Chains A and B, each alone.
Chain A
Amino acid sequence: MLTWYRLILSRLTGIAKKQTLAGELSDELRVHHEMLREENMRRGMSREEADRHANMSLGNATNIQERYRDQAALPFFEVLWQDLRYAVRLLRKSPGFTAVAIITLALGIGANTAIFSVVNGVLLRPLPYEDPAKLMFIFSSSPSRGLHNYGTSPPDFRAMRERNHTLAGLSGFYSGHFNLTGAEQPELLPGDVVSAEYFRTLGVQPALGRDFLPNEEQWGSHHVVVVSEAFWRTHLNSDPGALNKTLMLNGEPYKIIGVMPASFYTLVPKHVWIPMAWKPKDNFDSHNNYFLDMIGRLKPGVTQQQVYSDLNSIMLGIVQQFPENKGVGADLEPLRETLVGDVRPALMVLLGAVAAVLLIACVNLANLMLVRSAGRKKEIAIRSALGAGRTRLLRQFITESILLSMLGGLLGLVLAYFFLGLLPLAQNILPRMQEIHLDTRVLLFTFAISVLTGALFGLVPALQNSRVHKFSNALKEGGRTSETGGGSRARAGLVITEVALALVLLIGSGLAIRSFQRLMHVDAGFDPANVLTFRVSLPQSYDPHPDDPTRIGAPPRIAAFYQGMVDRMEQIPGVRSAGATSSLPLQGENWTKFFVPLDRPLPVSVEAIANVQYCGIAGHFFKANGVRLLKGRLLDEHDHATSALSVVVNEALVRTYWPGQDAIGKQVLLTPPDNLIPIGEAPPGYHVPHFTIVGVVSDAHYGGLDKNPKPAVYASVLQHDFSSNPAFTVRADGDPKNLVSAIRNVLAQFDKSLPMARISTMENIMADSVAQPRLEALLLGLFGGLAMLLAAVGIYGVMSYTVAQRTSEIGIRMALGALRFDVLNMVLWQGLRLAAIGLAIGLALAFAVTRVMSKVLFGISATDPATFAVIAVLLAAVAALACYIPARRATKVDPMVALRYE
């Protein structure tokens, strides 16, 4: 292979030495010729004969020199260089065209680069863990109950971890917020409670210090914490001696044992990790609570299906010992799916949209090139006459168009870079945002589509123009030959393509916009105006006996906290009402509890009991959040630990259990009935509490606005279950943000160590929940508008050119008596016919293609006829306008001038 290197190197240097080599060859050939002549003369030929023979023997000198020259250097690059220089000269001669072309290309290619870099960062790049394809997200699933994806109980997790033989590692975790105290201001840190092998399963190690040990999952040995690099930087001054220092989290001391590297990725930022541990007999560590997420790593050579069978056989085994687990199984999916699967359909739609925009831009450019090069017929004729083959001409044209598209691509890269700078605005919408950059793959992609684009829009004009007929005509008439059939047909085809593509894209945008509108019109079930919300995380010290299943409502300290906060906040001027809840609407939190109506036969087994959404509330929650009372009464200060146990339900629950009837007064249970409680779980003589429904309220959406509200039941924290991480809601007279400092003071008065966290307004929460569809509608609308503009410009351009071409014909017609109106009609009709064909094709294409969007649309079908019709009419109108203006110009033609030109 050394030989090849030598060859290439010699040829490269040969480019510079061309003159010298050519000179040396001439000398050699001359000498050769002389020697041949002498030889011939020695053989007896005359001088002329000898000369002639020598010429014949040597061969055609020009040919030899050409072959020699080709061998000496790299002709491919020489030709390319020639073509490029010529192309640059041409482009500089028509700066208007060049500017328009480069800008159009920059917009089209830049948009594609930007969207592709998002797709690359979010969907294509493997997750930043070790061997990420083997990581699976594992969850509980009970298809028989219609529950497909929920958390796991700690005993089930430990059983799976211990008994599986298909996983190289299985870890469980759940997220929490931790009050950090000891500094001037308390702070709420987001973090995860994890099993000991969490980091090992992901294949990441702490950058400083050590990982957890298995025994640290024991209550008492669990006071260790690993912190994030960001926390170490901001709170510990990047001090390597921070190891073994203590942090006060939720009122308990935790020893720092490790710092995670900055490259460790979590879906949401986390700053602390502590090992999972529960006191013996803690209710959380039982089959009563399903809340753990799990990540497992496949053993080499093991398939997903094998893990599924393995884990489910373990779950079946558990049922034998714990019958309340009946029906609970396990399922898994690749971790990447879990993290980005939701976003994929939307991104694919966007990618399709920008591709369509680029195609339309290509069509426009192809038309532009066709028009421009029609004036180059003379040049082409001359070059052909001088010996340029068709391939050579084609090469020249394609070089020109690729040069344009590469320049456009470069500018497009710059545009994309700025666009990506806007990415932080999409904070809550895209997962893995930190991995979106212009990396190598994106650059390669940009290069590839630049070349392809250039080849694409250059092809049609190149093919057209390299076809040469009738040299003499072209040379004589100075290039203004009349239209060849092929030219106008090509342009017509391009216009039709443009209109069709623009229609498809516009329909997509229309659907996205209408879908977003429908979403915004969903009745959220509550009134978010002027409502402030925040969360407080209550430390364990507030709840000294968490494992007493028979108590009614919150322990005294927590009850006092809830009530006290609400009372004092309502005294702040500007506050209309205040309340607290365990789950805020639209945050997707799902605390579900059993629901057993007592006016019908009891369920025969635990797994037959239905679940409903549960909210433990306090104060004037309903008023504060604007949840409407429909029947009966709301829970208020009359509902406390010693009054009758009451609940309020939502409409969806009434529709499910008492359709068409009055639910007020019905008795229900929020736990399994007495006969189904496992023996030993409750003290003897204990009976589960009965609750009475006292009110019905509107359906607040706890999942997204696009999901149907599920049945929900509300109980006062003084009478039933409560959250130690409540959300407070405060309805203000004016701007709720003005109340923040006053409320912080109130909270500080209660307990200086409690930070006020996740402060937001309900309106913001609502806006965030629809952020993705909004962005989608915005971007698609933008691209659709761009496409329509490009198509209009394209049609206008083509029609203008046609009119210019037909000037003499129009002049003749008018001289022969045609009215201006007839001329207008003729031109207009020619254009509209093309547009109509394009619209028809576009409608059919859209019908087939928009199905792709159905996953992304809400409340509207992907083939909604109204949208299709309106957009088609809109585009038709735009096309008509684009045809009309040149048509009007045609009527202004002065027949005398037109004829004289001929």
Chain B
Amino acid sequence: MSEAKTDVLQGTLDLMVLKTLEAMGSMHGYGIARRLEQVSEDLLQLNQGTLYPALLRLQQKGWITSSWGVSDNNRKAKFYTITRSGKKQLTIEARNWERISAVIGKLLGSEG
């Protein structure tokens, strides 16, 4: 993936990860990747590993936390949980998206 595409997707990726964790509770990296794959239909089919730097960034911003735990097939894995400030960020981002899509919707609608 080129650098530019990654930057564009960074924001969206953050949003999707936060939403996933909020809806599904604590998950490990593989679980998050599977879920995103399902939801975004092949957006993350390749290069799932790039999820990890993104998860690190979200941790650094304080929007998620991590801890080591045991997965359902007895593997030791790192689990991620959304924090309160993460939830707040999610609300803010979601509102922004709604606003933008409303505006765009109006623009597109007015042409028709």
On A, residues with C-beta under 8 Å from B are: 3, 6-7, 10-11, 14, 21, 24-25, 27-29, 31-32, 34-36, 38, 56-61, 63-64, 67-68, 70-72
Contacts and interface: CB of A to CB of B under 8 A. Distances in A.
Residue among B60, B76, B89 with most chain A CB within 10 A? B60
Interface string B25-49: 0001110010000000000011111
Given A3-B61, A59-B47, A68 B52 contact: yes
Interface residues of B, number: 27
B75 A64 contact: no
B31 to A, nearest CB: 9
Contact of A28 (B52, B59, B61): B52
Given A35-B30, A57-B46, A25 B52 contact: yes
A692 B53 CA distance: 104
B6 to A, nearest CB: 9
A28 B59 CA distance: 15
B60 A11 contact: yes
Contacts of A70: 53
Contacts of A36: 30, 48
Contact of B52 (A11, A35, A64): A64
B75 A31 contact: yes
Contacts, number: 79
Contacts of B78: 24, 27-28
B62 interface: yes
A7 B77 CA distance: 24
A778 B61 CA distance: 61
A6 B52 contact: no
Given A7-B61, A32-B30, A32-B33, A72 B56 contact: yes
Residue among B53, B77, B85, B89 with most chain A CB within 10 A? B53
Residue among B28, B45, B47, B52 with most chain A CB within 10 A? B52
B53 A29 contact: no
Contacts of A61: 49
B101 interface: no
Nearest to B1: A59
Contacts of B85: 3
A64 B33 CA distance: 15
A59 B50 contact: yes
B110 to A, nearest CB: 36
Nearest to B56: A71
B54 to A, nearest CB: 8
A64 B49 contact: yes
A6 B49 contact: no
A67 B57 contact: no
Nearest to B28: A31
Residue among A28, A60, A61 with most chain B CB within 10 A? A28
8 smallest CB-CB distances across A and B, nearest first, come from A10-B60, A59-B47, A64-B49, A59-B49, A35-B30, A71-B53, A67-B53, A58-B49
Contacts of A21: 56
A6 B30 contact: no
Given A3-B61, A25-B52, A35-B73, 6 more contacts: A3-B85, A10-B60, A31-B28, A57-B45, A64-B52, A71-B60
B77 A59 contact: no
A822 to B, nearest CB: 59
Nearest to A13: B60
A21 to B, nearest CB: 8
B59 A64 contact: no
Contacts of A27: 76, 78
7 contacts: A7-B61, A25-B52, A31-B30, A32-B29, A35-B71, A35-B75, A67-B53
A59 B48 contact: yes
A400 to B, nearest CB: 28
B75 A29 contact: no
A68 B61 contact: no
Interface of A is mostly: helix
B60 A6 contact: yes
Nearest to A72: B56
A707 to B, nearest CB: 70
Contacts of A64: 49-50, 52-53
B28 to A, nearest CB: 7
Nearest to B54: A71
A10 B59 contact: yes
Contacts of B46: 56-57, 59
A61 B52 CA distance: 11
Contacts of A68: 52-53, 56
Contacts of B76: 27, 31
Nearest to A39: B34
A27 B78 CA distance: 9
B66 to A, nearest CB: 9
A58 B44 CA distance: 10
Interface in B63-110: 63, 71, 73, 75-78, 85, 89
Residue among A3, A11, A35, A36 with most chain B CB within 10 A? A35
A63 B76 CA distance: 24
B61 A6 contact: yes
Contact of B29 (A28, A57, A71, A72): A28
A492 B76 CA distance: 67
A825 to B, nearest CB: 58
A579 to B, nearest CB: 87
A697 B52 CA distance: 98
A68 B47 CA distance: 13
Nearest to B63: A3
A559 to B, nearest CB: 93
Nearest to B75: A31
A505 to B, nearest CB: 49
A57 B29 CA distance: 13
Contacts of A31: 28-30, 71, 75-77
A74 to B, nearest CB: 11
Contacts of A35: 30, 71, 73, 75
Contacts of B30: 31-32, 35-36
A3 to B, nearest CB: 5
Contacts of A57: 45-46, 48
A3 B64 CA distance: 12
Contacts of A72: 56
B1 to A, nearest CB: 9
B75 A34 contact: yes
A717 to B, nearest CB: 89
Contacts of A7: 57, 60-61
Contacts of B47: 58-60
A92 to B, nearest CB: 37
A478 to B, nearest CB: 38
Nearest to A10: B60
A837 B56 CA distance: 60
B57 A71 contact: yes
B80 to A, nearest CB: 10
B56 A58 contact: no
Contact of A3 (B28, B53, B62, B71): B62
Contact of B48 (A6, A24, A58): A58
Nearest to B57: A71
B62 A6 contact: yes
Nearest to A38: B73
Nearest to A64: B49
A582 B58 CA distance: 85
A56 B85 CA distance: 35
A362 B26 CA distance: 60
A71 B53 CA distance: 6
B55 to A, nearest CB: 9
Given A6-B60, A71-B57, A29 B52 contact: yes
Contacts of A59: 46-50
Contacts of A10: 59-61
Contacts of A24: 78
Nearest to B33: A32
Contacts of A58: 47-49
Contacts of B53: 64, 67-68, 70-71
A31 B28 CA distance: 10
Nearest to A71: B53
A456 B73 CA distance: 62
